[in-house]
Structure formats: C-alpha cells, structure tokens
Chain A
Amino acid sequence: MRQALGVDVTLDVPDDEGLGFSTVAEAQAPSVSTSEKLMQAAERASSAMVLATVSPCAPSDACAPAFISTLGRRLFRRALTPDEQGRLVAAYQRVRADNDVEASFRLLTEVLLQAPAFLFRVETASEGGRLDDASLATRLAFALTGEAPDEQLLGAAERGALQTSAGVREEALRLLSTPAARRQAGRFHVEWLGVAGLQHVHRGADDGGFDALRPSMEREVAELGAFVTLDDRKLSSLFAWKTTFVDGPLAAHYGLAGIDGPDVRQVRLDQLQRLGVLTSPGVLAAWAKSTGTSPTLRGRFVRQRLLCETLPTPPPNVSMTLPPVTAGTTRQRFTQHVADPACSGCHLLLDPIGFGLERYDETGAFRLLENGRPIDAHGEVTQLDGGFRFEGAEPLGEWLARSPEVRACVARQWFRFVMGRLEADGDRCALEAMSRVLEDSGDVREALLTLVTSDGFRQPGGSP
C-alpha cells in the first residue's frame, strides 16, 4: 500500500506464526475479523491517499479506465486481465451512480485493495511448468524485500529479463541494495532469534525502564542482522563481532558513556564483555523470565534456533519446580532442579549452555554478582564438538561463529523465512547449495542469491 498509494496504513492483524516466522503461508487462516480489518484498512488508505499523485489523469469518468488499469497493475503486481478490467470498470459505473467522481475513485481503490489478486500471491506457471515471469518477480520481491515488486522489477519481468538466472541475479542484487531489503534482513533476524517475542515479554511493574528499552533492543538486532547480511556479508560476524548498533537508552544499558538521543549509531564494545548477537540485550531478555534468567530457555535458544536441533517437549506429568528466587545463584537453583533423573536428560542438554550466559541478567544487563554471590559462568555445549566447554559468552560466540551446524541451520532458517514454508525433500539441492556458500565464504547475501537463482525457486506451488 505504501508503495502504490503513498500512504502508510497499519493493519491491526497479527500474522499467524508458523515455524516461528510470520511469513509461513500455511499458518495464515482466513477469518471474518481479518476480512473486516482489511476492509477498514482499505477505507483508511483510500481516504488518506492523494488522488492527484496516484491517478494517471485528472479524475473524471473518462479517466476511470486508465486509473483502474494503472493502480491495478501496481497492486496486482501484473497487468490486469481484460476480464478484470471489464469487471472493475462496471463496478466503477455502479458506484458512480450514487457518488461523485472522486468518491468513486476512492471506492474503486477500496475494491482493488480487497481484491484477491492484491491480497493473495497468486502464482501461475508458464508452459514447461515453471513460474511465469510476473509470478517470479512477485516471489523474488517478497523474498528479498518483504514487499511487492517495484516498477523496475515489473518492467524487467515484462521485458523477459527474468528468463535467465543471470537476469534474476541482476535484479536480485539491485533489490538487495534497497532500504526494503535491509528491513527484510532485519525482520528475519528479529523473528529467527526470538526477539519479536520481546513485545509480549512482561518484566513486572518495577521493570527499571525495560518496557521503554524494548524497541531499542529490537532495532539493535535488526541493524546487526542487516549489517551482517548485506554490508559485512560474513555470517561469523553475527556471533563474533565486537561492534553493535545502539541509541542513547540502549548505550546506557550497555554501560557506554557519552551516547545520547534516539539516533542509532555504530559503536565498539572493546571494553565490554560483549560479543555479537548472543550478548545483545534483546536476545538475552527474550530468552529469560520475568523473575530472573532461565539457563533452560537460553540453552533452548542455542539448540533450537542456532543449531536447528529438535528437542522433545517436557513429559506431561512432571512438576517443573523451582526453589525460591531469593536465595543463592540461578545456577545453584537449576543444578538442584536437574538432579531429578526424570528431568536431567533434557536439562543437561540445555542448562549448561545457559549457565555460560549467567553474567547477563533477565534484561540483558551485565553483572558479576547475583544475590551477593559471584557468578560462575562456566558452561558446556554437550554432545557437539566433543562437548565444547567454555567460560562466559565470548568463547561461546566464537565457537558458534565457526560451527558447521550453525551454518547449515542458518541456511535452513533463511529458506523457511524466504519460501514461507518448511523445507521438503525436493529442496535438498537448493539447501545444500546455500550451505556450501556459507561453508566456503560465510557470505549470507551470496547464499540468498544462490537460493533465488536456483531451479527450485522457479517451481510453482509449495514444494518443487
């Protein structure tokens, strides 16, 4: 809508989240409430748009067909079919009977904004069973920018420039240099790393300003993700980079002096015990509880989100008891609680990873003491790499930066986000090619280019 009408309208409908990503189509269910909100959003957008800038000619009955075909092409991401054009012109004439020209233009805009060709991504195959160029352009644009194709991409599709993988690569590279691609890369990292959940995290009434910090925390992870994907282009930097992006409030949370105001800037973390996204307050807070840290949750974060391991759910009839919060350190409490053999199987996989991050509290602030006792930050990633033992976040970050499991997992996570579905058997080639790029160079942007220029990306439907 922003692209086509020049207006920003928020749609107050949460995207249903499957596989942890908001882009998964299978999880998006039609509902009356959503349709109602779409109607209201279409009304807000059509009344907010400046008709003179959207319409190709001065609004009049004679201009109506051109208005419909121009706006329709932008919103439907392809030229209207003759049937569509005919139906919509007829609809214009019907509403025009009771409304003036300008109101009728706005009502037709509402129709276009609620039309299935705008709301749904309809993919059509050409002969040979591959996606046609217009469908490919739409898939490419949403994959890399989270938005509809821009004018240049629509033009490229219409010229046949997307017929070759070199042509697709050229357009993809151009898209990846746009601000929308930065937003999309940021969104991927925010969702993948669980930081999107921060907005639902409660930290109690006396939260020390935590609520106000959440947007800064989310922005930091988004900036870091976009930087690693599009600028630095080294996956290892995500975990082992001594630089980050903060505004004034987040700088204070880090303990960095002399940075004020709402502007985000790049800062070095040299004197601080911080390294990469693993020690970003957003990640540390998203994987904690209101009452304190949770080594279990942080261990689960590393296992599920970074290593793509499947963990069993807790057995149904165990009491997940925690001793009182006030005494001793979190490590002591958790060590007691995994003494129970019914729990220890899983918790020995999870908790020792989280123990290594105990020097960051539930808001992500650094600490050396808990309840007056020094924190022991020794940790271990069991069962991998011969059992990797470490002390504190920094060696863990460096280990993640060189882990082949992490590289393969990142390929899978990007695949799910971009394709909006779980990987299937037929996707092995594309996934292996992405992993190989990450193995060889760690270049995330190149891995994405590999995906969107692959044969699989041109296949219609869910799985190639």
Chain B
Amino acid sequence: MTARLSRRAVLRAAGVSLGVPWLEALAQPAAPRRFVTVFSPNGTVFDQWAPTRTATGWTLSPILAPLAPWQSKLLVPVNVDLKSAATGPGDGHQRGIGHLWTARALRPGRLFGNVDWASGPSIDQVVAETLGATTTLRSLELGVQVLEATILSRMVYSRDGTPLAPENDPAAVFDRLFGAADPLLAAKRRANRKSVLDAVQDELRGLSATVSAADRRVLEAHATTVREVERRIEAVTMPSPTCQRPPEPARPTGPEAFVTLGALQTDLLALALACDATRVASLQWSRSASPLVHHWAGVTIEHHELSHHTDDDASACADITAIHRWYAEQLARLLGALERTPAGPGVTLLDQSVVIWGNELGQGNTHSHRSVPFVVAGGGGGTLRSGLLETSGGSHAELLLACAQAAGAPLTSFGDPAFCQGPLPGVLR
C-alpha cells in the first residue's frame, strides 16, 4: 500500500513550487515511522530492572537482559515518574494505568469508586492523528487476556476520553488484517458489508434527528466507530516481500493460553506494521493489578499479591524479577520481528519505529508512581538516541512527547501542561 499523495505533491516533486499549504504526506519521511506502546502491570523491582553504567558504556539488568541483541537500539530512561498521577482522583492502580499513556487527571465520578474514565487521549491515539491518516487501520489495539472492562483494564483513550477496548482474539485480528482468503469472496463480502453499513449510517442519521442533544452525541460517537469499521472493510492488505498472509491462528485454551495468545498477538502486531496496515499499535498484557499466576515463569503466586511484598522478601523479589524478565522476552520477540523486516536500504523496521514499554507503577508494594520502568526501543527513523538516560525525576509526559515527536507527530506538548515543559532532554538526537 502506498500513502495517498495529492497532485500537488507530484508537482512539487517535479520542482514546481506553487507555494502550496503544508502537506502532511510530504512532511513524512520517505520511509514512514511506526509507534508502539506496550504495557505490563504491577510495578517492578528497581534494582533488578535498572541498567548499570560501566567504565566503557552500560550493561542491561537481570530483567532487561533478554533485550541484549538490540541494546544499541534501546534507550532506557531511569527515574522517570508519572508526575501527573499525583493529581486527580483514583487509587494507585487506577491513576497508574489511567495516567500512563494520557498524562492527565482522571475524570471524577462514581463508576469505579471515585473515578470514571480518563479525561483525554492516550499518546498513541494522538500520534495516530498523524501516522494513521493514510493506512488501512488508523491504529491497532491488542490485548492479551484483558478480560474485564473497568478502568483498570483500559489504557487507550480517544481524543474525547472514550476508552478503546483492546482486541483479545488473534482470530479477529487476523480477520481484520487479512479477511477471506478467496479474493472473489472477499470482494463480494466487502461490497455487501459496505452496503449494510451505509444503510446503518442512514438509520443513525434518521434517529439522530429525533433525539436530545446529549443522545445525539452518543449516536454520533457510535456513527464514528461504524465509519472506522467501513474504512477497515475497504482496505485490502496487499501481499509483498515483507507482508505474507500467515496461516489462520487457532484459539488457544488451557492454563498456558496466555503464553500462546501473547505470542500470536505479538506476531500479528509485527505483521500489521510490516504490511503497513497500520503504523500505530498497542499491546496490553493483562491489566493493572493483574491477578495472573505466571506458572510458565516458575511463579506460583498471583502477580498482584506478589507485588505487595516487603522490600526484604527475597523470594517475592525473585518472582517479580522472573515475571518481568518473561515480559522482556516477549518484547524481544516483537523487536526481533521488526528487526528482521527490511524498511529500505540498510534500514530495518525497528530503525523506523518507536516502541515504548511502560508500567502503571514503579513499585507494587507502595503503589508508587516514581521510577516507573520505561524502555524505549527503535531508531525513530534516526531521531532517537540510545543508551542509559539517567534523569532525576523526569516527567513521563515529557518522555511521551519526545517519543511522539520521534514518530513524526507535530506536537509541542502532551497531557497536563503543568507536567510537560517540552520533550524530555536526552531522548531526541
């Protein structure tokens, strides 16, 4: 798939200057960038997570060791705080996941104790306004067993603060990306779906005219989602050397389903980026305060329960380390897939990407929002630095702003402006 360029872009390429308005498509570098956010829950064990500086450079920590093959493409900002999470309603976990990608106070309310949902967009949705303009899918929200539907289970929010549920089912993601295998069948289905949804839009418009202003807003929000579904239908993912239709995924079940689902979702995410079906994606592992038992990592206690350990409880610290190391291995799977995908002469898809791995807490037993374990991977199309970045209480809003800028989004601030003076120093080249 190619980006849509207007006729004026062609004129300018031919050296004809017409003084045309700024064109987003031209502002994009030849090879488009990708933006990915990844979440895993419940805080970390700081001294097992933080890399160390050495005489000649820096070394990864026990938790981050699985990322070693891409160390030269990693930026690990240490001591970044969710500063905005000191404001607004919600308990530690609610504020953690609600602020993580939005960096602003939650909406007060009573749906979940003393809060409703987040109050503004998550960074991925803001970046999608730029990067998602020309792709099949504006963005792709994936989850791994995000079972409930409460504020603890939502991290992606649209511009008006509507929570966007992640897709947990790899088969549904596959269908969205690749659809029916038979091209004739696929074309027929596409045409019929479009007719059906056009008629649905007519009904939405018809009903809108008869209801109150508040209800009209609800219907309009729904109509917007239907339009986005229509857009997905019209798009066809074209095979290319970097984009092959994979076999249709099976539905894993059983106690180890989390592992299999995670691998499938990771691979589909990488493929969606490789196919340029979307340039913005997120992957959410379980949820804030996750009670998952990570047997496969050798752990027998619920994750959330474990995270309330004492600092001197060596066994709990070892378990938490094992859990986060396992999540680092899953991130390694994603980074590996991106690194194997060429994106131009001597450039891989990882070089073009900005991947941010975050957590809603710094430390589980205190519900602290300080020293939250962020990792930034990828080259951002040559805009991102790599290495160990020791901040002294950097604001995560500034980190997110820098990452969004690295992905090419024309932002000058993000989240609550009180916590965002500009891009976090040391992130951008």
Contacts and interface: CB of A to CB of B under 8 A. Distances in A.
A35 B149 contact: no
B316 to A, nearest CB: 10
Given A37-B172, A319-B310, A95 B192 contact: yes
B24 interface: no
Interface string A113-132: 01111011010100000000
A39 B197 contact: yes
B222 A33 contact: no
A320 interface: yes
Nearest to A16: B149
A29 B222 CA distance: 9
A201 to B, nearest CB: 7
A201 B291 contact: yes
Of B112, B232, B311, B367, most A-chain CB atoms within 10 Å: B367
A288 B5 CA distance: 58
A334 B92 CA distance: 23
Interface string B158-177: 00001111110100100110
Given A33-B165, A95-B192, A204-B300, A322 B203 contact: no
Interface in A272-309: 289-291
A24 interface: yes
Interface string B185-206: 0000001110111111011101
A42 B147 CA distance: 23
A319 B192 CA distance: 58
Contacts of A313: 91, 113
A35 B163 CA distance: 14
A83 B206 contact: yes
A12 B116 CA distance: 23
Nearest to B207: A116
A42 B111 CA distance: 30
A35 B300 contact: no
A36 B200 contact: no
Contacts of B219: 116, 120
Contacts of A422: 110
Contacts of B172: 12, 36-37, 40
Contacts of A13: 165
B207 A30 contact: no
A111 B199 CA distance: 6
Contacts of A39: 193, 196-197, 229
Interface size class of B (residues with CB under 8 A): 35 or more
A107 B305 contact: no
A181 B197 CA distance: 34
Contacts of B366: 316-319
Contacts of B234: none
A107 B198 CA distance: 12
Contacts of B167: 33
A28 to B, nearest CB: 9
Given A35-B225, A111-B200, A289-B305, 5 more contacts: A31-B164, A111-B203, A114-B197, A120-B218, A290-B305
Interface of B: 91-92, 110-113, 116-117, 141, 147-150, 162-167, 169, 172, 175-176, 191-193, 195-200, 202-204, 206-207, 210-211, 215, 218-219, 221-222, 224-226, 228-229, 232, 255, 291-293, 295, 300-302, 305, 308-311, 313, 365-368
22 contacts: A15-B149, A16-B150, A19-B110, A27-B111, A30-B162, A30-B225, A31-B225, A36-B172, A83-B206, A91-B198, A98-B191, A103-B192, A114-B196, A114-B197, A122-B211, A124-B210, A204-B293, A211-B255, A290-B291, A291-B301, A318-B366, A321-B313
The 3 nearest A-B residue pairs measured at CB: A91-B199, A18-B111, A16-B149
